[in-house]
Structure 1
Amino acid sequence: MVVIGVIAVVLFGGNLPEVARKLGGSYREFRRGLNEVQQQFRLAEYEAKKTFTADDSKPTSGSNDEDDDEEVTGPKAPKFTPPA
């Protein structure tokens, strides 16, 4: 740490406080932007989970028949068929 401090003083001299202030401001802006991106991802994840849990909440009859999957009501996505 001392070596880095000495190099900073030699390179920047009297401008060191101004350089440190600018570096701190840039770091603060970077962290603020990073937090905004993280918040957007968390919001999208929350909305996706909310959507999937709302779609998955169907009444169960207590049996484990394979036919239960076909009784789902509501819109269905078309089955994927790979190109020939």
Structure 2
Amino acid sequence: MGDRPGLAQALKPANNFLAATTLAATSAGTFITVLVLWDLLGHLPLPLGVAGHEGSTVLVGLNGLRLLRESAWRRPDGGRPRTL
């Protein structure tokens, strides 16, 4: 990438999105894993299990909504994104 200085700048938003998505997926997966282990090794109250499941679903949905923002698709040169 040394011969293409604009490439690293163009990939920065994609890298930021990938890092945020990975963090959200890891945290949701860890939370669900804890709930499953709690259920298998002890007694997990049903409302807490449902709240945990629905909470992780909302987290995934909110993460997907980030892609609908126009700023998520802004080009590095400040131009507007291309539309289909």
TM-score computed with the length of structure 2 as normaliser: 0.42
The higher relative CO (CA closer than 8 Å, separation ≥ 6) is in 2
| Larger Cα-atom Rg | 1
